[in-house]
Structure 1
Amino acid sequence: MKPLPRKQGRDAFLETAGKPSRDSEGPSRGSAEMVKYKILVATGDSVFAGSANLVHLWLVGEHGEADLGKQLRPLLGRKTELEVDVPLHLGRLLAVKLRKQKGLLDSDWFCKSITVQGPGTQGEAFFPCYSWVQGKETICLTEGTALKVTDDTQNLFRKYREQELENRRNVYRWGSWKEGLILPIAGSTERDLPRNQRFMKDKDLDFSLSLVKELKNFAIKGTLDFVSRVQKLEDYQKVFPHTKTALPERVRGSWKEDALFGYQFLNGANPMLLRRSMRLPARLVLPPGMEDVQTQLEKELKAGSLFEVDFSLLDGVKPNIIIFKQQYVTAPLVMLKLQPDGRLLPMVIQLQPPRHGCPPPLLFLPSDPPMAWLLAKIWVRSSDFQLHQLQSHLLRGHLMAEVISVATMRSLPSLHPIYKLLAPHFRYTMEINTLARNNLVSEWGIFDLVVSTGSGGHVDILQRATSCLTYRSFCPPDDLADRGLVGVKSSLYAQDALRLWEIISRYVERMVELFYRSDTDVKEDPELQVWCREVTEVGLLGAQDRGFPLSLESRAELCRFVAMCIFTCTGQHASTHLGQLDWYAWIPNGPCTMRKPPPISKDVTERDIVDSLPCLQQARMQITVTKFLGRRQPVMVALGQHKEEYFSGPRPRDVLKQFQEELAIMDKEIEVRNASLDLPYEYLRPSLVENSVTI
């Protein structure tokens, strides 16, 4: 051990944080009283988390630094205990430094945390890590007590914070995917990502093996699809999957009903488009002879029971060509009325926007011939599929979560309380998004192969949707108020989203109060302000004109922004992810493409509908991907149930425990409510909401 004078030891930590340390030079000369430290090193329990290499440790305290030598061999899922004698009382421990030595076989090590028991009344110091230790890089772990810059009055950690952020900015670089889209992490493939953002082996194996299984089934069964032709709607049972839930069966049996059609806008896979009408839409053109319809619409409008779903974002999008066959896209408008019993029923469907110099677009009504009305609803369901997957799910869930995670890694050091609060909500997001960009929405990806908005149309939609992203739309109280859904009892999504937002907000407020005593504390936190600007101005391409903040001036503003980040990474994604298999397993209820143009008359037969829907091969591909991505994840971590402890001390732990208790109460109440419902709504049930965007 090499003891150092007080000032030299502290300065040595500041100067060498994150840099290679020299090996031990042996014990100091002269006699010294030996001080005993007990060290507990926790290794991850995922496959290959342990290492065959020895690990070199240093303890850094206020009075000096102690080189413990190459004493540790980390084993999978184990806590390794060490007792060491140090010829100096190090005082308050500031950091633990560690470096993995290369051996005959070099293997990385995933370190969860290190706990050090000091002498006498010094107590226990906790050093969170949750990172891979690679090569001969020296890792510096600071004690887990969260500190803002202004809390560090002695500047003990100033250079460490600066060095850590400099290193992070070199590793976590902003990339560019498509012009006009919010920014991703840099890297062409998942192998380009920082190791700490890659799947752990258990997740990687589950993902890969499940994908191989689904693709194998597709290859075996899909060969017959090229020669099989859908003759009637019931033929889609050939690709209907066996599921563990009853809802897909219910959808298959009731998908033609107007009540189920309307219900999906309230509580289906995409509850983000429905809004209460404040006036009759300008694009709704009622031709002569439909005065009764206009009267009915105006009556519902006056009563406050008129709702609309407008797919104008799809207007003018260039449709895909699949295997030399033209596909079709349209931009419907749906007017619906909310019944006193809570049912939402369609009143009018206009499939095409009005065109200057053209006859008014055809309007479809519930009183039309059944096949014509059914085909109009199918067109709406296909349009909803497009905006659900691209706008609501990919952009507002996946890509937005990635912006938040990259900005946080670049701007907040591991000592910062907001970093510690947010870090568990970034698990696996960067890799799953990279995989999506390379396989789902890439050239020759799934969208190009089977979706009507593939081959460029999907990028056009994402660009249009990006320009519509507002801060208010990511905060459920504002979003639901703007859309007129607050107080709509049959909108279970709205009720659960508000409840979950309130629980997350209380959690954030309690945690923020531990570290920010006043609005001034928020305004004077330079790292916090850089982080906020990094999200809004850099990652979101200057979204301040759409309400996103450039700075945080009060605790209330900070709490709202952090709650938005957590809800986006958890509830926002879950509400548009978990319902995919339920609502799209029956192809006619959510077709990925349409193979015929929208009808120009109401003389429609079942043959016309079948010829418009996906062919059997397209349908099977849709089911294969939906089943793979929509299945419940065996390695999922539910909201608030993460095992990583980034904070030291009892008060943050108590706040997290209270958060978990409130989530458990909500979970139980949803279970009780659903037991009495004809159609249970579970997509925001806390035990099913994942703690981060991982699939």
Structure 2
Amino acid sequence: MGLKVVVTVGGVPGATENFQDLFGNKLILELVAEESNRGTKTLDACLTGKNPNDIKYEAEFELPTEFGSVGAIWIKNEHGKETFVKSVVIEGLSDPLTISCNSWVHSNDDNPEKRVFFVDKLSCVPSKTPSGLKPLREKELAILRGEGAADVPRGKKDRIYDYDMYNDLGDPDKDSDLVRPILGGTDHPYPRRCKTGRPRSTSDPLSESRSTEVYVPRDEAFSEVEKGTFNLKTVFLALATATASLKNREDDKQFSDFTNIEFLFKIGVELPNLNDNGRLQEMLPRLFKYSESTQKNVLRFETPETIKRDKFGWISDEEFGRQTLAGINPLSITLVKEWPLKSKLDPKEYGPSESAITTEIVMGMIPGFSTIDEEIENKKLYMLDYHDIFLPYVHKVREQKNTTLYGSRTLMYLTPTGTLRPIAIELVRPPKDDKPLWKKVFTPGWDATSMWLWKLAKVHVLAHDSGYHQLVSHWLRTHCCTEPYIIATNRQLSKMHPIHSLLHPHFRYTMAINALARGALINAGGTIEMCFSLGKYGTELSSVAYDQLWRFDQEALPADLIARGMAVEDPDSPHGLKLSIEDYPYANDGLRLWDIIKNWVTDYVNHYYPEENLVKSDEELHAWWTEIRKVGHADKQDEPWWPILNTPKDLIWILTTIIWVASGHHAAVNFGQYDYAGYFPNRAPIARVKMPCEDPTDVEWEKFKCKPEDVLLSALPSQGQAIQVMAVLDVLSNHSPDEEYIGDKMEPTFEANPQIKDAYEKFKENVQKLGTIIDGRNADESLRNRNGVGVVPYNLLKPSSEAGVTGMGVPNSISI
């Protein structure tokens, strides 16, 4: 049988000289038969492409009939550099046979081992693996696990997936003040990250040394192939360079007035110490402008959507309440189920457990108040509760410069229009040494003093919510907890495994962005420490949240809503849940997306596991789930709430949860960051000064009485902090040009299977319908939390988006 094999290559890293390296070299291919007694066939594929953007290798060959079906292909790269192989297609058969590689193949000079790739249509559970491919399936997994590899620092071309603790957030060799606790283990429970193999630091043998390059397995790195691809690593480096000049630029100086803040959007800030002006403008045109008249770079921000629509909305209580349901942290609001509100902390250390928010205070704030029991029974009271998790850190945080902290509770009332109205804020400072417990409740007032104290109390609560959002709702619950799923999937599920194929698009770039975050955002001296209230205790607090609050079973959206009292099971309601607040944009859109994902996963799983015993007998699948629990989340391995994996139904729930977290959950807490927090008074990341009524001196109180606006500005971020956070949030809210959105691009293995292809087309259609449904909801004037004068429509779970900062779009993965 006369056949032709065509290998499409994306290129080699670097410039023209690397393309020249292609000439005179070749790829050696070795076809592998499905059945073990049919052998292999070796081919030399020669270059036929004409330029670096059209590189193909071809080989013509005869394949004996007795060879049978081709199941896999070995590739040996004889070039001096690694080569990105997109696909291998065997033509001349009744239907072309496709092998989608989409991976870097190392040079034979670097590693003489060949790379194996499996035919797309052979996605199968282990028990159905053709006999000729079983050894290859097992060998490839052993390579990815690093079996037999030396325990040395990993290099750029390595493909090893392994686990380690978060022992690289500090930098003790640089400065003793940059020592940070190891996250992971008994003292500070935490998920595991990818092992880099870097040596220990000299100053602290428990910590890993730091470097500018942080290892991730080769196929997890950001794309370097497609022309015009958004290179996030380069952008981060440019941003770090730009903000470096701002960190020491009058860093502690407050804004003189609110007009001064508006100048950031109208005039910008000069960056006099930067070179390569054109490159900065090219990479971040939204931020970096070049002034021909002054010959200097200017960092000028786009006006956030919230301020475009309502310049004074950030002041209002209505907007404060609305954003707990439709802002960037809609995951903290909880239903009040018991009264009085009580702390679970030790009263001997932290004072009486009962809240200072009394029935009398609530009675005075609610028109037509009946009894507290009736209000609770009718589900009218809701709360942001940052009391117990923050209170143990209050005095530690206050030892740092220019920041402060309280434990806080914010009580809200559900109005007849379905909106939340904040009615009381409790701020608490625990006792210490000669200072007694300080506990005070603030309410909206009708006099000037109480009105200004209320404004300041909201600044503190929003700083608490901003820190919790960034460290827990965002970093911990999406980025951090997903990394063990990625590691386990590559270590235990062969690329032939259908569940690997299902999960693969939802893990794109996550390990790479996490590595960048450890180097620039959550590290000692990074943006989170420098600009958020908790300072150097931020990641430690995320460990406390993981230990006390995180549960895999409650990462599923329906379970999360039920746990927070925001929904109850109801078979007669849409999605099987009745919401406590009907107009809850995150929940309404999220549940629709959850069901769409779950239906797709159900079709997929039921196709590959038509019988229940197939799940029980799948050794790769059980090794995967066991490793996630016992290694990736080792500090939680003995918890009773881990789902048992015995049936297709169990598997569907587990997979839907993982995909939801990587797509919908992350999109909801990430892509609105600039629109909602870019104008930082709306969501200040830090409250720098204590309330003026806490242990006031005559001078402090007099200053507050004479110029309350100045006290408010002193509580907000300094100029350097504000600019740094705004720049980072702009980047984090950005969709890259090569973003892959949920329900858009079909994986090659899906397309190779007619039943799965049909199921995916249905999935894609349902995802597209969701966009129309969301548009309709945003146009509904009865939904006051997403429609109204000056209100930003809720688009964060609208599935697709243009590139850039749009406040919408649900990527498949945590790609930024």
Q: Does 1:584 align with 2:677?
A: yes
Residues 290 and 86 from structure 1, CA distance in 2 versus in 1: closer, same or farther, beyond 3 angstroms?
A: closer
TM-score by length of 1: 0.87
CA distance in 1, matches of 2:813, 2:640: 24
Tell me, what secondary structure is at the counterpart of 1:367? coil
Q: CA deviation at 1:265?
A: 0.9
Q: Is the 8 A contact 1:57 1:99 kept in 2?
A: yes
Residues 666 and 418 from structure 1, CA distance in 2 versus in 1: closer, same or farther, beyond 3 angstroms?
A: same
- AA aligned to 1:55 is L
- AA aligned to 2:84 is F
Residues 402 and 208 from structure 1, CA distance in 2 versus in 1: closer, same or farther, beyond 3 angstroms?
A: closer
Residue 371 (structure 1) aligns with: 452
CA distance in 1, matches of 2:362, 2:382: 19
Q: Is the 8 A contact 1:276 1:485 kept in 2?
A: yes
Tell me, what secondary structure is at the counterpart of 2:132? coil
CA distance in 1, matches of 2:255, 2:214: 42
The correspondence of residues 425-504 of structure 1 with structure 2, limited to 5 A, is 425-486=506-567, 487=579, 488-504=581-597
Residues 608 and 519 from structure 1, CA distance in 2 versus in 1: closer, same or farther, beyond 3 angstroms?
A: same
1:352 to 419, 428, 448: 428
The correspondence of residues 245-256 of structure 1 with structure 2, limited to 5 A, is 246-250=305-309, 252-256=311-315
TM-score by length of 2: 0.75
Q: CA deviation at 1:514?
A: 1.3
Residue 174 (structure 2) aligns with: none
Q: Does 1:174 align with 2:149?
A: no
Residue 150 (structure 1) aligns with: 127
Q: Is the 8 A contact 1:348 1:364 kept in 2?
A: yes
Residues 68 and 548 from structure 1, CA distance in 2 versus in 1: closer, same or farther, beyond 3 angstroms?
A: farther
Q: CA deviation at 1:96?
A: 1.4
Q: Is the 8 A contact 1:332 1:353 kept in 2?
A: no
Q: Does 1:37 align with 2:6?
A: no
Q: CA deviation at 1:36?
A: 0.8
Residue 260 (structure 1) aligns with: 319
- AA aligned to 2:737 is P
The correspondence of residues 47-196 of structure 1 with structure 2, limited to 5 A, is 52=22, 53-61=25-33, 62=35, 63-72=38-47, 76-78=52-54, 80=56, 82=58, 84-86=60-62, 88-89=64-65, 90-102=67-79, 106-119=80-93, 121=94, 123-136=95-108, 137-144=113-120, 145-152=122-129, 155-170=131-146, 171-177=160-166, 178-179=183-184, 180-187=189-196, 190-196=213-219
Residue 625 (structure 1) aligns with: 728
Q: CA deviation at 1:193?
A: 1.8
Q: Is the 8 A contact 1:36 1:86 kept in 2?
A: yes
Give the unaligned 5+ runs of structure 2: 147-159, 167-182, 199-210, 266-299, 344-354, 568-578, 781-786, 801-808
CA distance in 2, matches of 1:349, 1:269: 20
Residue 342 (structure 2) aligns with: 282
Q: Is the 8 A contact 1:308 1:333 kept in 2?
A: yes
Range that drifts further, 377-386 or 460-469: 460-469
- AA aligned to 1:592 is P
Residue 198 (structure 1) aligns with: 221
Q: CA deviation at 1:389?
A: 0.3
Tell me, what secondary structure is at the counterpart of 1:351? strand
Residues 156 and 293 from structure 1, CA distance in 2 versus in 1: closer, same or farther, beyond 3 angstroms?
A: farther
- AA aligned to 1:231 is S
Residue 493 (structure 2) aligns with: 412
Residues 531 and 208 from structure 1, CA distance in 2 versus in 1: closer, same or farther, beyond 3 angstroms?
A: closer
- Per-residue CA distance 1:248-299 (angstroms, 9 max, x = gap): 4346421111110011111111111001111122142246974834966544
- Count of residue correspondences: 655
Tell me, what secondary structure is at the counterpart of 2:88? strand
- Per-residue CA distance 1:335-390 (angstroms, 9 max, x = gap): 11111211111111101167699456110111262111111111110000110000
Q: Is the 8 A contact 2:336 2:382 kept in 1?
A: yes
- Taking only the aligned residue pairs, the percentage that are identical comes to 26
CA distance in 2, matches of 1:128, 1:634: 22
Q: CA deviation at 1:324?
A: 7.3
Q: Is the 8 A contact 1:133 1:139 kept in 2?
A: yes
Residue 743 (structure 2) aligns with: 640
CA distance in 1, matches of 2:9, 2:372: 64
Tell me, what secondary structure is at the counterpart of 1:632? coil
Q: CA deviation at 1:607?
A: 2.3
Residues 649 and 664 from structure 1, CA distance in 2 versus in 1: closer, same or farther, beyond 3 angstroms?
A: same
1:342 to 399, 418, 428: 418
The correspondence of residues 672-691 of structure 1 with structure 2, limited to 5 A, is 672-676=776-780, 677-678=787-788, 679-687=792-800, 688-691=809-812
CA distance in 2, matches of 1:569, 1:319: 35
